[in-house]
Amino acid sequence: MELLSSLPLFVARCCQALHVAGFQAYPVGGCVRDLLLSRTPQDWDVCTSALPSQVQALFPHTVPTGLAYGTVTVVLEGGTVEVTTFRQEDRYGDGRRPDAVSFVSSLEADLSRRDFTINAMAMAPDGQLLDPFGGRGDLQRRSVRCVGKPELRFREDRLRMFRAIRFAAQLDFQLEGQLLQALMELGAQPHTLPPERIRPEVEKTLCAPAPHWAGLLFSSGLLSAFLPNRLEVETAILSTLLPTPLARWAGLAALLRQEGADPLPLLQGLIPDRALIVPLTKALALEVPTDARGWRHLLSRHGVTTCQALAAMSPGSQPLQALENVLAQAPCISPKQLALSGQDLMALGLSGIEIGRVQKTLLEHVLDHPEDNTPEKLVRQITSRRK
């Protein structure tokens, strides 16, 4: 079967080694979904009847990634595989092998604990698709549907609501009716999900090909811990921004502001990464320059990243285009980029703090007149100012 031929050799070998040792092993979850969609899987998951210690004993190179959850990373030539013992209560703790019937039920029990039908498929050794919940049909319908009753599954784990939206955004799928209904009903309920679990899902939603799904995060109240109310945010514009965290968070911040909501608690609550949150918060306090000269001054004062965030926050494509045009000219925005170096200035007879002062003046001049950043013109500047 073609599903089998699309499985990388190292994953097939990993499963085979487990089979030879007498265990069940199935590629499962996201990787099976992505193979069926002809997408490149992010990671390779295998579920198995082997216990973590048995997996560790079988492969020379393993990493105990999540022993508490039964996950061992197997490192092979060609890639790594996350091998997880069947998730089910009646596991054989002593390593005894259950009979064939309970193998099948173990796999089904494992699949039934997964979030969505499209994520609850496994691949048999002969390449046959094991799909007890109709995941393939939902892939064809382009629909995210819960395994079991959405309300129950969402009450068990609220993160699944974020994940549903994330998959709709990444795959450009719809949310199945009952799932959507449960999400709208349960979204705004108070919860204790830690931000570090929410953040990746929100960021993946924002950076996805169909980022307008982020609107549902606000209309459902899922992010109401950071915002006063449920909010209708018109998010269609996000897809016009670069699919980077910086640009998409910036775009979202601007949309929230348009709706009269303060984006800061959300940004600060969800983004721990200083390289991201600092430029975003700085940009929120800045005005968009009206011309190239203004952009150069802003670049010099605040750096490229903050300016990129500011441009992404500004309505229309003009600011982004303007900033791009300025950056394409590789303008001089710091003393280091002046056509005269500190040493050149020393050779011209300057010394000590004078050098820094002259550099500052030259930089101000070059920011206004970028065409003047040549050694001759800068020397002329210095001599004319000395007179």
Burial of 308 (0-12, 13-18, 19+ CB in 10 A): buried
Q: What is the dihedral of CA 286, 287, 291, 295, to 10 degrees?
A: 0
Residue range at the interface with ligand ATP (CB under 6 A); choices 41-49, 179-187, 231-239, 289-297: 41-49
Which CB atom, from 42 or from 192, has the smaller least distance to ligand ATP? Answer: 42
Chain residue whose CB lies nearest ligand ATP: 30
Q: Which of residues 219-258 bind ligand ATP (CB under 6 A)?
A: none
- For tokens 């703090």, the residue is 353
CB 45 to Mg ion: min, Å? 6
Which CB atom, from 201 or from 313, has the smaller least distance to Mg ion? Answer: 201
- Which of 353, 354, 369 minimizes the C-alpha distance to 297? 369
Q: Is 160 in the site for ligand ATP (CB under 6 A)?
A: yes
Which CB atom, from 5 or from 42, has the smaller least distance to ligand ATP? Answer: 42
In this structure, what DSSP letter does residue 285 have? T
> Please, which residues bridge with residue 76 across strands?
79
Report the partner that residue 160 touches, choosing among ligand ATP, Mg ion, none (CB closer than 5 to 8 A by kind).
ligand ATP
Q: Is 201 in the site for ligand ATP (CB under 6 A)?
A: no
Helix, strand or coil for residue 203? helix
What residues contact residue 221 under an 8 Å CB cut-off, 6+ apart?
A: 187, 188, 189, 229, 230
Cβ distance 258 to 198 under 8 Å? Answer: no
Cβ distance 355 to 345 under 8 Å? Answer: yes
Contact pick of 26, 36, 45, 58 for ligand ATP (by CB under 6 A): 45
Report the partner that residue 359 touches, choosing among ligand ATP, Mg ion, none (CB closer than 5 to 8 A by kind).
none
- Which of 103, 87, 95, 98 minimizes the C-alpha distance to 45? 87
Which CB atom, from 42 or from 384, has the smaller least distance to Mg ion? Answer: 42
Q: Is 115 in the site for ligand ATP (CB under 6 A)?
A: yes
Contact pick of 53, 97, 142, 157 for ligand ATP (by CB under 6 A): 157
Structure-token pair, residue 200 = 């990746």
Cβ distance 255 to 235 under 8 Å? Answer: yes
Structure-token pair, residue 78 = 């060609």
Which CB atom, from 115 or from 138, has the smaller least distance to ligand ATP? Answer: 115
Which CB atom, from 39 or from 369, has the smaller least distance to ligand ATP? Answer: 39
Q: Is 110 in the site for ligand ATP (CB under 6 A)?
A: no
Contact pick of 27, 29, 211, 289 for ligand ATP (by CB under 6 A): 29
CB 204 to Mg ion: min, Å? 11
Which CB atom, from 119 or from 308, has the smaller least distance to ligand ATP? Answer: 119
What residues contact residue 367 under an 8 Å CB cut-off, 6+ apart?
A: 293, 296, 297, 300, 331, 332, 333
CB 54 to ligand ATP: min, Å? 21
List residues binding Mg ion (CB under 5 A): 30, 42-43
Q: Is 131 in the site for ligand ATP (CB under 6 A)?
A: no
β-strands 45-48, 79-85 pairing? parallel
Which CB atom, from 40 or from 343, has the smaller least distance to ligand ATP? Answer: 40
Chain residues binding ligand ATP by CB under 6 A are 29-30, 42-43, 45, 114-115, 119-120, 157, 159-160
